[in-house]
Amino acid sequence: MENYESKINIKSWAEEDRPREKLLLQGRRVLSDAELVAILIGSGSLNESAVDLSKRILHHFSGDLNGLGKASVNDLSKFKGIGEAKAISIIAALELGRRRKETEHKQTEKIGCSKDIFHLMHRYFADLNHEEFWIILMNRANKVLSRHLISKGGQAGTIADPKIIFQTALEHHAVAVILTHNHPSGNLKPSQADLDLTKKLRNAGQMLDIAVPDHLIFTDKHYFSFADEGLL
């Protein structure tokens, strides 16, 4: 285990190599991704500066910040020079950046199309490595009443219980339920199980006079709408 003296603190670098000073003098936008990560971790090791360590981490994720954003504390702690505290700092910073991006778009209060659903729910599915199933409840004016997490699963799938879905809808006096879930694999194509569940929930909703106007499958950046594709 490296001792404290073996670490190279940012303050010991040449002035032109200090990302903190560079930020103060030139502004945050001139810093590279590696320099920003270096500020978060603060120090490297005897043989590697914080910037070089950051470059190594980013290289592992092919320079993709979205990929880095999916990393767990355990994933990051595998890099020599990154302990639990530094890993947590990186994860927290990337999560704040993701939340900031989401708040730049005013949350939709009324659903008019599948794109409105995507903007409303994207933040709940971003960077997940497992499946989750959520529902959106609406009133007669297509205004959102609430959102509810129905189930969590693994990478292969999750189970959505129709009884829980419609019990929740009835308790909140909803007249419509929009179904949403994600595919961590990045594959937007609905599985046969997705198709069967959607049909089952649509038919059950008709018996209860609760509409199921759409079902969206999410990946990190895209979505598949059953309604848009004529599957509802």
Domain spanning 4-103: CATH 1.10.150:
yes
Query: Nearest Cα to 34, choosing from 9, 69, 59?
Result: 59
DSSP class of 9: B
Give the domain ranges of the chain: 4-103, 114-225
**96-153 pLDDT tens trace:** 887 777 665 555 578 999 999 999 999 889 888 889 999 999 999 999 999 999 998 8
Instruction: Convert the pLDDT of each residue in 31-75 to its tens digit.
Output: 899 999 999 998 888 888 899 999 999 999 999 888 898 899 999
**Who's near 136: CB < 8 A, 6+ residues apart?**
111, 117, 120, 121, 144, 146, 147, 177, 178, 180
Confidence of residue 5 (pLDDT cuts 50, 70, 90): very low
What residue type is assigned to position 206 of the chain? Q
Q: What is the pTM of this model?
A: 0.59
Is residue 173 over pLDDT 60?
yes
Res 1: pLDDT: 43
Same fold, 4-103 and 114-225: no
Residue 227: band (very low, low, confident or very high) from pLDDT cuts 50, 70, 90: very high
Q: Give the span between the Cα atoms of 204 and 177, in whole angstroms.
A: 11
Does the structure show a pLDDT above 50 at 181? yes
Cα→Cα distances 89→21, 37, 85, 102, 163, Å = 20, 9, 6, 20, 41
Mean pLDDT of the residues in the chain: 87
Q: What are phi and psi of 140, to 5 degrees?
A: -70, -20
Tell me the Cα Rg of the chain.
23
* Region 114-225: CATH code: 3.40.140.10
pLDDT: which is higher, 173 or 5? 173
